[in-house]
Structures are given as C-alpha cells and as structure tokens.
Amino acid sequence: MISKKRLSILLCAAIVALLIIGSVLGSLLRVFYELRYSLGLFLPYWLVGPVLFLGTTLIIILLIQIGIPWLKDLKNNNRWLKRQDKKLIQLPKNRRHAAQKSLESIDRLLEHIKNDIERETLIQERKRVGQELARGDLVVVVFGTGSSGKTSLIRALLNEIVGEVGAVMGSTTKSKSYRLHIKNFNRGILLIDTPGILEAGKDGLNREKQAKKEASQADLLIVVVDGDLRASEFRVIQSLGTLGKKVLLILNKCDLRGEEEARKLLFILRNRCQGILNPQDVIPVSAAPQSIPRPGGKPLQPSPEVSSLLQRLSIVLHSDGEELLADNILLQCRHLGEEGRRLLDKQRQKEAIKCIERYSWITGGVVTATPLPGIDLLGTAAVNAQMVIEIARIYGIELTRTRAQELAMSVGRTLAGLGVIKGGVTIIETALSLSITSLLLSRAVQGVAAAWLTRVAGQSFITYFQQDQDWGDGGVQEVVQQHYNLSSRKSSMESFLELALKRVVEPLQQKEKRRQLPPRP
C-alpha cells in the first residue's frame, strides 16, 4: 500500500508536470498562430499551410540529425564510464590475483591469433605459466661458468654428493634439479644446476642458451664466480638484473686465497655491482675446500663454508619468498603477453597490407580510367575512407564513416602540403618514361601515382592504429614523411613499379591497341 504522504507527493509532481507541459504547448501554439498570421500577410492563404508543414518537417529532421548522434555519444560515454568503473572494481587483490588476471587477458589475446602453429606454441607456454602459478616449490637457479664450482656449491648446500665435482669445464651438459628444505620456511626449494656459460663452440652456446632460459624462469638466481668478474660475466650479471630477478652473487673458492686477498676481492665485486646488487647479496663461500696435508696421516678435509650463503638465503626467502614467486609469474606473464601482442600485431599488419594493396590498385584503375584534372585532386583520391574503416576493423576498432573521412582528408592534405604528391609523381614519371610511349605516359603516371600514394597513406594509417590511434610526437606529418621515404627507396620502388606495369600500364596499353584496330567489315 502506498502511504498518504507518498501519494500526495506523486500528485503534486503530476500537477507540476502537467502545468509545465501545458505552458510549453501553449507557448508553441502561440508561436504557431503568430507565425501563421505573419506568413498570411505576404503569402496566399492556400500556401501558408504547406509552408508551415514543410518548415515543421525540416525542424524535426534537423533535431533528429543532431539529437541521435548526441544520444549515441552520450550512450558511448556512459558505457566507457561503466567499463572504467568495472576496471576499478576488479583491481587485483594481490600479486597472485594479478598474475591470474594477466593469464586471463592472455587467453583473450590467444582467441585473435589465427596462425595455428604460433597459437599452439603460446597455448603450451601459457599452460606452463599456469602450472607455475599453482606450484608449491620456489625455484632457485644456480648460474655461472663451468669452472666456478656450481655443482660443488649445491652439494655443500644439500650436504650430499649430487654430481661430479672438480671435473673439466662443461661437465654439466643438462640442467639438474635437487630439493632443499629450509627451517621454518613453508615452501620447498628446488635448486637447479644449469650448464656452464661462456664456453666455446656450438655446444657451449647451446648450453648457455638453455642456462639463460632456466634463469629467466627462476624465482631467485645464484650466480657463482671464482674470481673478479670478467667483462662477459659482468654483462651476464647486468642482463639478469634487468630481468627483474633477485640475484645473489657468490664468490667461491675463498679458501684458495688469503684472508686479506679474499676481503679485497669481495670489496671489488661489491663496488663493480653497485646499483645492480645490494652489498649484502655479494657473499663469500668455500664450497669444496682443498684438503690440508698431514705428515704421517690422511689429509685433513675441511668442511664446506657456506653458512653465510645459507643465512642470507634464509633471510631473503623468509622475507620476500612469496613476493619473489609472484613477481616471477607476473614477469613471465608479461613476456608471454608481449609475445602474443607481437604475433597479433604481425598478423594484423599482414592483413592491413593486403587491404592497402587491394585499394591501391582499385584507386590506380579508377584514376587511369578517369584522369583527374589536377595533381592536388590526385592526393585526395589516394586516400579512401572505406580503406581506413577496414584497416581500423583489422585492429579491432570501429570507426564511423565521418571519422574515417576526416582521417583520410587529413592524410591527403598532409601529402599535398609536404610536396609528397609532386615528388612521387616525378619519380614515377621518370621511371615509366623508359617503358611506355609518351601518348600513354600522362594517364599511366596518374594511375600509378594514385596507387603509390594510396600505399603511402595506408601504411601511415597502420602506424596510427598500431600506436592506439595516436600519430606520435611528430604528428601526422612525421609519420607520412617516414613512409614516403621508405616507399621511395630504390628496392621498394622497383618492386612496386614491377607490379604497376602488370596492374595498370599493361591493361592501359591493351585498351589503347584495341581502340586503334580497324573496324570489322
């Protein structure tokens, strides 16, 4: 039941609405009668009604023309605001949630990739990253040259022999995995011993590639060196740092040096890695100390000294372990997304170029059949609004015809303003004058130039849509000039003219020959 108070409010509102509508209609009727009276002063009585009807119809059409686009824009703006609100609502709660959202966006990206082989490769990689997100172990990759003592370090950490120690460089030819548990850490640690880097030969390069792949997928990297960093090793440290990974630099074989020498070398390493690594992440160890001879008895084998590494490893894993894992997944998602977008851009560019080629020869044929009166008009014929719409659609953008015409005219004016049209016509005229007679030269030049300018304009539009509908800092002039310069290169122009002779010039020559044949008896 509606309460009396609410009913009275509704009645008052209805009365006010009726009064407003009545006053508006009364005003319109007064205007109508005044207008009818005014028209009757200088028009015949029988013509006043049709003129009023025609005027009213035109006003209604004008209101519709203005109102409908305005309503559409308002509706689109409301949709955009709703999408933004939805995005704000769906902000990731944590890094794991952000990684899951990133994988979902990759799934949507995969739907648009048409090449079966490339899509399947990305799908397999996406599955692997998804499994990484669900895994329980934190991956620590041990990375370094073959002689630095990586396997010895892992053996010392696990306190058991896990491989040949002291073998020649390159003995670890495949990655090997070992498990380690740290006290009070709720995740298992998966230690991966990678093949040595910086080795000579094809096999050495292949092993280094495998090691770098393992490193790119690690949660934490342990880089082992046995002396000062060589230039090639330092570049590796820098590249690993740019991956966004946490890196521990281990100075091994400290037992082979005196205490003072080891301290100096540690100081040098920390200085060299300043800005890349924290000083406390450069750690001295002795993974496999040399035995000490004892007269009349067995040599004394000192225990490995890796306590400083275990202590630092424990601190890092307890404080940042979960973040390291989530950051690694997010990094892999980002790389996977970048690869997917690269493949999609490549696919879109290929489709857009086919579209431009089609419209180039359509424009060339039209201009050849109906020569234009001036070169400036040739520039406007070189850009086609429908071509712009189709290129936009390839890039997932829906353009109105009005907007497409604005873009087309903008590039057409830029072509004319930069002198590109005259320059292109001169280049093409010079090239074609060697191939065809002067009688057909003028028409052929206009047709071929129209096709060529359409190509320049279309490639400019590709750049515009690739940059999220932005011409860039240099504006449309810089983009058009860049593609003009690329299309004017000798190799590009030669391949284009070869096609132009088949598509434009030869049909024109055949048509002229048919025209010159004598009539049949």
CB 162 within 8 A of CB 154: yes
Residue 104 lies in a domain: no
Q: Residues 390, 395, 397, 403: is their CA dihedral positive or negative?
A: negative
Residue 28 lies in a domain: no
Q: What is the dihedral of CA 312, 318, 320, 324, to 10 degrees?
A: 90
Residue 118 lies in a domain: no
- Pair (500, 397) in one structural domain: yes
Q: What's the mean pLDDT in 31-40? A: 67
CB 251 within 8 A of CB 263: no
User: How far is residue 116's CA from residue 39's CA, in Å, rounded to a whole number?
Assistant: 73
Residue 254 domain boundaries = 135-288
Residue 148 lies in a domain: yes
Give pLDDT tens digits for 324-342: 877 777 777 877 888 888 8
Placement of tokens 């225990």 in the chain = 303
**In sequence order, what DSSP letters do the residues of 79-91 get, joined into one string?**
HHHHHHHHHHHT-
pLDDT of 489 > 90? The answer is no
pLDDT class of 509 with cuts at 50, 70, 90:
low
- Pair (364, 512) in one structural domain: yes
- State the CATH number of the domain containing residue 266: 3.40.50.300
- Pair (501, 391) in one structural domain: yes
- Pair (74, 160) in one structural domain: no
Mean pLDDT over each residue of the chain, to the nearest integer:
76
SS3 424: helix
* Long-range contacts (CB closer than 8 Å, 24 or more residues apart) made by 107-113: 109/337, 109/340, 109/341, 109/344, 110/340, 112/344, 112/347, 112/396, 113/340, 113/343, 113/344, 113/347
Of the candidates 366, 360, 369, which has an alpha carbon nearest to the alpha carbon of residue 499?
A: 360
Tally of structural domains, the chain: 3
Write the Ramachandran bin of 221: left for phi over 0, alpha for psi from -120 to 50, otherwise beta. beta
Residue 496 lies in a domain: yes
Largest Cα–Cα separation, the chain: 140
**Pairwise pLDDT comparison (322 vs 43), residue with the higher score:** 322
pLDDT of 254 > 50? The answer is yes
DSSP state of 137: P
pLDDT class of 351 with cuts at 50, 70, 90:
very high
- Pair (418, 476) in one structural domain: yes
Residue 296 lies in a domain: no
Query: How much of the chain, in percent, has pLDDT values that exceed 70?
Result: 70
- Pair (415, 280) in one structural domain: no
User: How far is residue 504's CA from residue 444's CA, in Å, rounded to a whole number?
Assistant: 7
- Pair (262, 357) in one structural domain: no
Give pLDDT tens digits for 423-463: 666 767 666 665 665 556 666 777 788 888 888 899 999 99
Residue 305 lies in a domain: no
- Pair (256, 393) in one structural domain: no
- Pair (348, 493) in one structural domain: yes
pLDDT of 322 > 80? The answer is no
Q: Which amino acid is at 199?
A: E
Of the candidates 163, 180, 159, which has an alpha carbon nearest to the alpha carbon of residue 171?
A: 163
Estimate the crossing angle of helix 438-466 against helix 307-369, to 10 degrees.
Answer: 150
Q: What's the mean pLDDT in 308-320? A: 86
Predicted model pTM: 0.58
pLDDT of 138 > 80? The answer is yes
- Pair (284, 364) in one structural domain: no
User: How far is residue 43's CA from residue 37's CA, in Å, rounded to a whole number?
Assistant: 10
Residue 22 lies in a domain: no
| pLDDT in the model for residue 169 | 38
| pLDDT in the model for residue 205 | 67
Question: What does each C-alpha distance from 265 to 221, 241, 256, 280, 323 come to in angstroms?
Answer: 21, 21, 12, 14, 32
Of the candidates 380, 398, 379, which has an alpha carbon nearest to the alpha carbon of residue 389?
A: 398
pLDDT of 240 > 90? The answer is no
CB 174 within 8 A of CB 150: no
Between 136-150, 428-442, 461-475, the lowest mean confidence (pLDDT) is in 428-442
pLDDT class of 478 with cuts at 50, 70, 90:
very high
SS3 397: coil
- Exposure string of 399-413, with b = 16+ CB inside 10 Å and e = fewer, is beeebbbebbebbbe
- Pair (144, 234) in one structural domain: yes
- Pair (148, 247) in one structural domain: yes
User: How far is residue 263's CA from residue 259's CA, in Å, rounded to a whole number?
Assistant: 6
